[in-house]
Amino acid sequence: MSKYKVIFQPSGSRGEVPKGKTLLESAQQLGVDLEAICGGKGTCGKCKVRVEEGYFEKDNIDSKMSHLTPFTEAEKKFIKPADGDNVRLACACQVEGDIKLFVPEKSRAGKQIVRKTAKAISVPIAPAVRKYFIELTPPTLKDLTVGDLERIQRALKEAYGLEDLKADFMVIRNLQDVLREGEWKVMVSVWHGKEIVKVEPGFVDFTYGIAIDVGTTTVAAYLCEMNTGKVVSTESMMNPQVGYGEDVMSRITYAMSNDDGLDIMQKALIDGLNDILEKITADIRTNGESGGESIVDMTIVFNTAMHHIFLGLNPVYIGRSPFIPAIQNDIDIKARDMGIRINPGSYIHVLPIEAGFVGADNVGVLIAEEMYKQDEKILIIDIGTNGELLLGNRDAICSTSCATGPAFEGAQIKFGMRAAPGAIEKVEIDPETQEPRYKVIGKPDWHTHIEKVEAKGICGSAIIDVVAEMFTSGIIDKSGKFNKELNSPRIKKDQDGKYYYVLAWADETSIGQDITVTQGDVRALQLAKGALYAGAKLMMQKMGIESLDRVVLAGAFGSFINKEAAMTLGMFPDCDIDKVYSVGNAAGDGAIMALLNTDKRIEAREKARWLEFVEIAVDPNFEKEFMMAMHIPHMKDKFPNVKKLVEASGSKVQIKE
């Protein structure tokens, strides 16, 4: 097959790619940092690149013969004259000759700031794998009829009463050398009192386990010392599958539309996990083992699609009605069967999933928050790339998942980006002047006056902030429409007559243009928050719950949003603001708890089956609730500008709360 040379500037990455690969695939192959929020489906328009060399003619952009396939409809939609000449969507064109490209700052993905840290976990230590020290009588010619394994089994029975122990095959392979190296004193790791999964020479004090939370966007790993239950190290990374689709549905599509799509994504994740294992165990290497081999137990949570892809299960059936997973209960799999480089005889405990759209990560949240032990009526909102809701208390719990769209992650937002350096993460707007101040990731201070702070875009938490602030400062009304009466240089109209708000002037940014919040951005956020609100409202109706005692914001993203802004926007039904709080990455906390205590595994198994999954989207009231929830609720007389705005516009829409 023909291969062509492809060069990406400014990184200078270069290499040969086969004819017919898209530029996005080429960038992925060459390790070039290129944004692709939609996973290469031509729907986000984020992967713009400029062709620097590789044209035959230069006359007319549409008829131009280049070393790329011709302009597509998708490109016509996204690429505007303002983007400059020779700009293409990397996902939409294929390589047909040698070519040199430039990736503009705006199209670079950047390294996500990972916000999944573990909080202190308080759970009794009762792990699946326990270590036992034994001293054996060395064999003699008079004690012939006992093999090495049988000698260990006999000693474990005598010293600890452990009977009918099986032994993992990999343990048997090393047994003879380990026994002799340890001079017949060994440390034996036993899984659930049933199976020997490791034998180490001599007395080994430390036992490590690892809990892993695979998010759609971010993967977090927590290394625990199992005797103390302490999280001794935390590592995280972008989910390497992001290159194949930013959201769950694009990855399912990738698996469906590529013969080896599933294998590729599975391998990317497993390679990534092995990298993380290598890093996280750098300080605990002993006995000449690779660090990962010191880890004798592992738990893992993820949403249902990631669960299936990790296990190599075709995710297509969970993507279409009736949304049936291959397996929903928890399962223990030998690490070596997965190619995960912990102790090869150990098991990976995969927590159960709830249903086609509510995954093991939500089960992690459930067992971490233990709402099934509470009297209070609690709503847990887990905002990752998907939105998942849990509602109830000890009497009953319902769960659902909401199609929030990716607005909270910065996608479908004109200047949206992930939480990476350069992203605006917090915003306030002066209600009198409509002048903003904002904070940029990577900069220590809030920005209040014109200076070069190299803002690049807006991440999810700031989108919530800015829309809430635009409302409270009267820039938009409760239906989300711009107030035409306000006289501010920051409120402008584009050539189609659509209003937008300038959050940062071009000279404050690193991208050389104004960072703005458009009418479309406001609408996208309204859709996202409306879906969450309507979902919660319908679950409350279904369960006969009239008011919430507590609202818990879970998920890495949940920890960083401003709860007042979220409440202003109406992301969730009314609740005393003091009873609204963030718990951080509760899914990861659940994985850690299940690692440290096998009772939590049983709890997860039972509660995942006990709770009721509600398919909100098929509820006949959903559309009505959703439409109503799109509005921004009027918080009585709290915000003077809003009051003025409402009076001025003479709105007839009934205020809901």
- Binding residues for a copy of itself, rule: CB under 8 A, are 139-141, 143-150, 167, 169-170, 172-173, 175-177, 180, 311-314, 317, 321-329, 331, 333-334, 336-337, 353-356, 609, 613, 615, 618
- Which of residues 130 and 151 has its CB atom nearest to a copy of itself in the complex? 151
Residue closest to 371 by CA, chosen among 362, 358, 384, 359: 362
How far apart are alpha carbons 298 and 340 in whole angstroms?
A: 10
CB 577 within 8 A of CB 208: no
Phi-psi domain of 101 (left: phi exceeds 0; alpha: psi -120 through 50; beta: other): beta
* Pick from 77, 68, 109, 17: nearest CA to 409: 109
| Smallest distance from a copy of itself to CB 357, Å | 10
**For a copy of itself, the closer CB: 321 or 495:** 321
Task: Give the integer Cα–Cα distance in Å for 502 and 487.
Answer: 13
Residue 252's alpha-carbon distances to 257, 300, 316, in angstroms, are 9, 20, 6
How many Å apart are CA 81 and CA 199, to the nearest integer? Answer: 67
- Cα–Cα distance for residue pair 235/292, rounded to 1 Å: 14
130: phi then psi, degrees, rounded to nearest 5: -120, 150
In which element (H, E) is residue 436 found?
A: strand 436-440
Cβ–Cβ under 8 Å, residues 591 and 300: yes
- CB-nearer residue toward a copy of itself: 172 or 648: 172
Beta-ladder partners of 457 = 423
Give the tokens for residue 192: 């659930």
Name the residue among 134, 274, 127, 149 with its Cα closest to residue 207.
127
SS3 state at 635: coil
To a copy of itself, the closest distance from the beta carbon of 608 in angstroms equals 9
Q: Which is nearer to a copy of itself, 123 or 333 (CB)?
A: 333
Sheet containing strand 515-518, edge to edge, reads: 491-493, 499-504, 515-518
Min CB(428)–a copy of itself separation in Å:
44
3-state secondary structure of 188: strand
With beta carbons less than 8 A apart as the criterion, state whether 616 and 539 touch. Answer: yes
Angle at 628 (CA atoms; ends 624, 634), nearest 5 degrees: 165
Instruction: State which amino acid sits at residue 522.
Output: V
Q: How far is the CB of 326 from a copy of itself (least distance, A)?
A: 5
SS3 category, 397 = strand
Q: Are strands 195-201 and 166-167 parallel, antiparallel or unpaired?
A: parallel
Cβ–Cβ under 8 Å, residues 404 and 528 = yes
424 touches 510 (CB < 8 A):
no
Q: Tell me the closest approach of the beta carbon of residue 317 to a copy of itself, in angstroms.
A: 5
Q: Within 10 Å of residue 101's Cβ, how many Cβ atoms?
A: 23
Q: Is the dihedral of CA 71, 77, 78, 82 positive or negative?
A: positive
Closest CA to 219 of 238, 204, 234: 238
Closest distance between a copy of itself and the C-beta of residue 80, in Å?
43
**Strand pairing of 3-9 and 99-102?**
parallel
Burial 379-404 (b: 16+ CB within 10 A, else e): bbbbbbbbbbbbbbbeeebbbbbbeb
CB 314, min distance to a copy of itself, A = 5
Q: Alpha carbon of 84 to those of 12, 463, 506, 580: distances in Å?
A: 21, 27, 17, 47
Minimum CB distance to a copy of itself smaller for 150 or for 205: 150
Burial class of 512 by CB neighbour count within 10 A (0 to 12, 13 to 18, 19+): exposed
